[in-house]
């Protein structure tokens, strides 16, 4: 799994995940998002468009990160989940809690 | 064309992870033509959730080894995971998702959601998981063409076979207590035949059969093999008219069948109690109930068998296990009870510069005789402190007389001590008289008895006798069950003498007697052999 972080000037950390988000990689995603929160980015957009596989462990990391972001007064949103990730979100009824958008700008409008 | 792709992988965690599993899956998917995306995603998700769950929980977080097998059929994808984890209880039934912000607890519900069947079995301390995903692309035609062999079924069958083997009932001789029930069933229902069957590997074997039919039938032709698939009575008024079983029907021989499953102590279905007939017939609800009652009776007798087989193990454990260290001598013995347990025993143990040898035969057979035999053995062993065989047998006789009198039985015994340097054997023969010494020149000497059996007369004056065992000599002591293997008379001792001359060593003699005893032991068969090596 590859994780990239882009700090947008409008207070959003864009976290891009590529590869498998499973039991092996879940902890790393949490650390990266926690790091972004610690660097005073209230909002986090997680780009799941290049995630080839998401399982319950990966989902658990997203939920834990969502809670951490909210505690700092921000919000965590998803960007373009790939087909399999979208399936898992729907099966677990998490697509309402972890809302998905087409782009970072759609997720966090900054006008 | 049906192509099956199967891959298996053994993982140790750490260092292996679900990534190892997903790398394997990637190669499998690449080799599966026409695999639907939805099926691939679902199967991968289910398999990853399953292995992740096993890695994380099966050994309570400790290191774990597991084997994953994935088979892709035309119409389904099947995965099994076998692990030796300590956790044997799995909350599989509750498939609901946890509350929305919970970080854990979605794995197993998710696995259930994306698969068509999930099963967990624990057999012999090992967890077996099976996950099946039916492929959406499978046509109705290929679905029908596929044999419905599920891996879970294979595991069930393993447990079933093991339970049956543990019963120790297979290939045992007929027993009246079972035959009674099948005979009664024939009369009660007015059918031609009744049987108590066991489903063993690829055959059906009958413990009891009243009427027509064969003791052994290929499993594929067995109706009882169908009965053991369920927990209820299987009643087929006319096999020919039932498309499920029409192939098993034999016109004018096998048309009607009714059976009820029989169980091992652990609940595994091992066989059936059944009635059958060459003519179709109606079987009423009342008759089905009666069949169930008779099956319950058979079930009870099976439980007794199980206890007997445990008793048998205990009794075999009382036979001398260790070889005596006697340079220049070869010692061997065997005891084959007619039933699970018997009244015969042989024994040997070191005494002074040699050893004591005993063979005894309790009047009667079965459990009662075996209890007496165990007592006689213990008493004779504790009498080893006496200087000679007369002292030992005297002490044993005194302490046994009340017990034997109360039980109304007597015991014939050959009790001896051998000085291994000189070859002199002193013995007391208490009414036994079935001992011979075979010399290398072909002559043989019967050691006759001059004393009554133990338990006849407490005032007996025991007489000690002596025989010299020279190089090449063989002493054979047997119980009267051995005579029945030949002509039932003392002439059988000549057969044994001839056998001893031909045999290279005592074990060859025992093997020959054992072979003769196979299946025809009406009485307990016991043999004790002491042979002195040829002079160098």
pLDDT tens-digit profile of B73-131?
Answer: 888 898 988 887 777 666 665 567 788 788 888 888 888 888 888 888 777 778 888 88
Q: What is the pLDDT of residue B536?
A: 67
Q: Which of B453, B301, B488 has its CA nearest to residue B372?
A: B453
Contact (CB<8Å) A92/B45: no
Alpha-carbon distance B103 to nearest alpha carbon in chain A (angstroms): 4
Question: CB-based contact (8 Å) between B26 and chain A?
Answer: no
- Mean pLDDT lowest for which of B75-79, B146-150, B314-318, B405-409? B146-150
Residue B196 has pLDDT above 60, yes or no: yes
Alpha-carbon distance A103 to nearest alpha carbon in chain B (angstroms): 24
CB pairs under 8 A between A and B: 67
Burial code (b: 16+ CB inside 10 Å, e: under 16) for B447-460 equals bebebebbbbeeeb
Q: Quick: pLDDT tens for B309-355.
A: 777 777 777 788 766 778 899 999 998 887 777 888 999 988 888 89
Q: What is the pLDDT of residue B145?
A: 40
Nearest-angstrom CA–CA distance, B196 and B275: 9
- Mean pLDDT lowest for which of B150-154, B278-282, B310-314? B150-154
Nearest-angstrom CA–CA distance, B96 and B468: 84
- Mean pLDDT lowest for which of B109-113, B143-147, B176-180, B202-206? B143-147
Residues on chain A touching B44 (C-beta within 8 angstroms): 53
Residues on chain B touching A60 (C-beta within 8 angstroms): 103-104, 106
Residue B193 has pLDDT above 90, yes or no: yes
Nearest-angstrom CA–CA distance, B66 and B128: 10
Alpha-carbon distance A20 to nearest alpha carbon in chain B (angstroms): 8
Alpha-carbon distance B120 to nearest alpha carbon in chain A (angstroms): 20
Q: Find, in chain A, the residue whose alpha carbon is nearest to that of B106.
A: A56
Domains parsed from chain A with CATH numbers:
2-104 (3.30.750.24)
- Stated as kind and residue range, the H or E segment containing B289 is helix B285-318
Average pLDDT for residues B207-236, to the nearest whole number? 92
Q: What is the pLDDT of residue B469?
A: 95
Nearest-angstrom CA–CA distance, B364 and B338: 11
Average pLDDT for residues B231-251, to the nearest whole number? 92
Mean pLDDT of chain B: 85
Question: CB-based contact (8 Å) between B44 and chain A?
Answer: yes
Whether B526 and B346 have beta carbons less than 8 Å apart is answered as yes
Whether B472 and B466 have beta carbons less than 8 Å apart is answered as no
Burial code (b: 16+ CB inside 10 Å, e: under 16) for A53-92 equals bbbbbbbbbbbbbbebbeebebbbbbbbbbebbbbbbebb
Residues on chain B touching A91 (C-beta within 8 angstroms): 110, 113-114
Q: What is the pLDDT of residue B62?
A: 76
Q: Quick: pLDDT tens for A21-71.
A: 999 999 999 999 999 888 877 899 999 999 999 999 999 999 999 999 998
Q: For domain B166-311, which CATH number applies: 3.40.250.10, 3.10.180.10, 3.30.450.40, 3.60.15.10?
A: 3.30.450.40
Strand-pair partners of A79:
A47, A101
Whether B131 and B118 have beta carbons less than 8 Å apart is answered as yes
Classify residue B293 by burial, with Cβ atoms within 10 Å: 0-12, 13-18, 19+. exposed
Classify residue B125 by burial, with Cβ atoms within 10 Å: 0-12, 13-18, 19+. exposed
| Best mutation target, B43, B48, B64, to test chain A (most A CBs within 10 A) | B48
Helices B285-318 and B151-167: crossing angle in degrees, nearest 10, is: 60
Alpha-carbon distance B53 to nearest alpha carbon in chain A (angstroms): 10
Q: Find, in chain B, the residue whose alpha carbon is nearest to that of A82.
A: B41
- Mean pLDDT lowest for which of B79-83, B121-125, B175-179, B297-301? B121-125
| Best mutation target, B106, B115, B133, to test chain A (most A CBs within 10 A) | B106
Q: What is the pLDDT of residue B520?
A: 57
- Mean pLDDT lowest for which of B175-179, B259-263, B324-328? B324-328
Q: Per-residue confidence at B162, pLDDT binned at 50, 70, 90? A: confident
Nearest-angstrom CA–CA distance, B75 and B146: 8
Whether B445 and B379 have beta carbons less than 8 Å apart is answered as no
Q: Find, in chain A, the residue whose alpha carbon is nearest to that of B95.
A: A92
Helices A56-71 and A26-38: crossing angle in degrees, nearest 10, is: 10
Residue B34 CB neighbours (<10 A): 8
Specify the higher pLDDT residue, A86 or B353: A86
Contact (CB<8Å) B18/A24: yes
Q: Quick: pLDDT tens for B442-458.
A: 999 999 877 888 888 87
Residues on chain A touching B97 (C-beta within 8 angstroms): 92-93
3-class state of residue B452 by DSSP: coil
Q: Per-residue confidence at B460, pLDDT binned at 50, 70, 90? A: confident
Q: Is it true that domain B319-532 has CATH number 3.40.50.740? A: no
Question: CB-based contact (8 Å) between B100 and chain A?
Answer: yes
Q: What is the pLDDT of residue B4?
A: 77
Contact (CB<8Å) A64/B41: no
Residues on chain A touching B95 (C-beta within 8 angstroms): none
Question: CB-based contact (8 Å) between B37 and chain A?
Answer: yes
Q: What is the pLDDT of residue B148?
A: 44
Domain spans, chain B: 5-149, 166-311, 319-532
Q: What is the pLDDT of residue B222?
A: 93
Chain B residues 295-354 with a CB less than 8 Å from chain A: none
Contact (CB<8Å) A22/B19: yes
CA distances from B275 to B170, B203, B268, B293, B511 (A): 20, 18, 21, 13, 40
Residue B297 has pLDDT above 80, yes or no: yes
Q: What is the DSSP string of B117-158?
A: EEEEEEETTEEEEEEEEE-TT--HHHHHHS----HHHHHHHH
Q: What is the pLDDT of residue B417?
A: 94
Q: What is the ipTM of this complex?
A: 0.87
Contact (CB<8Å) B97/A92: yes
Backbone angles phi, psi at B62, to 5 degrees: -80, 175
Same fold across B166-311 and B319-532: no
Q: What is the pLDDT of residue B251?
A: 83
Nearest-angstrom CA–CA distance, B120 and B131: 9
Contact (CB<8Å) A84/B110: no
Average pLDDT for residues B55-61, to the nearest whole number? 78
Contact (CB<8Å) B18/A55: yes
Nearest-angstrom CA–CA distance, B66 and B79: 13
CATH number of B5-149: 3.30.565.10
Q: Quick: pLDDT tens for B475-527.
A: 999 998 898 888 888 889 999 999 998 888 899 999 888 888 876 567 888 99
Q: What angle do CA B8, B199, B128 make, to 5 degrees?
A: 30
Q: Quick: pLDDT tens for B354-363.
A: 899 999 998 8
Nearest neighbour of A57 by CB, restricted to B41, B52, B97:
B52
Alpha-carbon distance A8 to nearest alpha carbon in chain B (angstroms): 27
Residues on chain A touching B19 (C-beta within 8 angstroms): 20, 22, 24
Whether B373 and B362 have beta carbons less than 8 Å apart is answered as yes
Mean pLDDT of chain A: 90
Q: Find, in chain A, the residue whose alpha carbon is nearest to that of B40.
A: A84
Q: What is the pLDDT of residue A76?
A: 94
Nearest neighbour of A92 by CB, restricted to B17, B22, B110:
B110
Residues on chain B touching A68 (C-beta within 8 angstroms): none
Residue B189 has pLDDT above 60, yes or no: yes
Classify residue B288 by burial, with Cβ atoms within 10 Å: 0-12, 13-18, 19+. middle
Q: What is the pLDDT of residue B91?
A: 63
């Amino acid at each position: 799994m590859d994780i990239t972080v882009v700090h947008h000037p409008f207070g959003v950390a864009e976290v891009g995940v590529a590869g498998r988000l499973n039991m092996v990689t879940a902890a790393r995603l949490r650390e990266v998002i926690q790091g972004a929160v610690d660097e005073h980015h209230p909002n986090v957009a997680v780009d799941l468009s290049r995630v080839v596989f998401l399982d319950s462990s990966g989902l658990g990391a997203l939920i834990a990160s969502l809670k951490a972001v909210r505690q700092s007064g921000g919000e965590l949103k998803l960007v373009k989940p790939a087909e399999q990730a979208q399936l898992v979100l729907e099966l677990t009824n998490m697509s309402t809690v972890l809302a998905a958008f087409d782009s970072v700008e759609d997720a966090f409008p900054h006008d | 064309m049906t192509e099956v792709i199967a891959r298996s992988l053994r993982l140790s965690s750490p260092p292996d992870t679900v990534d190892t599993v997903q790398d394997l899956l990637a190669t499998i998917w690449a080799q599966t033509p026409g695999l639907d995306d939805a099926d691939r995603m679902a199967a991968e998700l289910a398999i990853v959730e399953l292995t992740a769950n096993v890695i994380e929980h099966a050994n309570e977080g400790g290191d774990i080894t597991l084997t994953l097998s994935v088979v892709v059929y035309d119409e389904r994808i099947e995965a099994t995971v076998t692990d030796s984890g300590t956790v044997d209880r799995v909350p599989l039934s509750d498939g609901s998702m946890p509350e929305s912000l919970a970080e854990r607890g979605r794995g197993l519900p998710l696995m259930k959601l994306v698969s068509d069947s999930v099963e967990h079995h624990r057999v012999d301390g090992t967890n077996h998981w099976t996950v099946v995903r039916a492929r959406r692309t499978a046509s109705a035609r290929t679905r029908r063409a596929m044999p419905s062999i599920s891996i879970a079924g294979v595991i069930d069958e393993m447990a079933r076979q093991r339970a049956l083997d543990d019963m120790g009932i297979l290939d045992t001789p007929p027993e009246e207590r079972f035959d009674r029930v099948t005979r009664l069933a024939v009369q009660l229902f007015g059918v031609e035949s009744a049987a108590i069957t066991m489903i063993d590997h690829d055959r059906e074997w009958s413990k009891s059969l009243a009427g027509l039919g064969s003791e052994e039938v290929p499993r594929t032709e067995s109706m009882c093999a169908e009965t053991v698939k369920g927990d209820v009575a299987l009643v087929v008024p006319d096999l020919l008219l039932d498309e499920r079983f029409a192939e098993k029907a034999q016109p004018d021989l096998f048309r009607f069948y009714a059976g009820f499953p029989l169980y091992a102590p652990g609940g595994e279905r091992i066989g059936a109690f059944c009635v059958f007939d060459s003519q179709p017939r109606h079987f009423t609800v009342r008759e089905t109930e009666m069949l169930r009652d008779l099956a319950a009776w058979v079930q009870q007798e099976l439980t007794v068998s199980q206890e007997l087989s445990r008793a048998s193990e205990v009794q075999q454990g009382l036979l001398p296990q260790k070889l005596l260290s006697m340079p220049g001598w070869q010692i061997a013995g065997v005891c084959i009870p007619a039933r699970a347990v018997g009244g015969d025993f042989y024994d040997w143990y070191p005494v002074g510069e040699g050893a004591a040898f005993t063979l005894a035969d309790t009047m009667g057979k079965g459990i009662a005789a075996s209890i007496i035999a165990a007592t006689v053995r213990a008493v004779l062993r504790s009498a080893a402190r006496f200087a000679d065989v007369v002292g030992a047998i005297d002490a044993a006789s005194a302490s046994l007389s009340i017990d034997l009198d109360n039980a109304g039985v007597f015991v014939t015994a050959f009790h001896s001590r051998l000085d291994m340097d000189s070859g002199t054997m002193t013995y007391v023969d208490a009414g036994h008289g079935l001992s011979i010494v075979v010399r290398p020149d072909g002559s043989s000497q019967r050691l006759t008895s001059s004393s009554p059996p133990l338990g006849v007369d407490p005032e007996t004056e025991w007489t000690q006798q002596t025989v010299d065992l020279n190089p090449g000599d063989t002493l054979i002591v047997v119980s009267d069950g051995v005579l029945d293997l030949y002509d039932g008379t003392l002439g059988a001792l000549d057969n044994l003498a001839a056998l001893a001359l031909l045999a290279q060593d005592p074990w060859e003699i025992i093997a020959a007697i054992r072979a003769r005893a196979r299946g025809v032991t009406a009485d307990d068969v016991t043999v004790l052999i002491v042979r002195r090596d040829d002079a160098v």
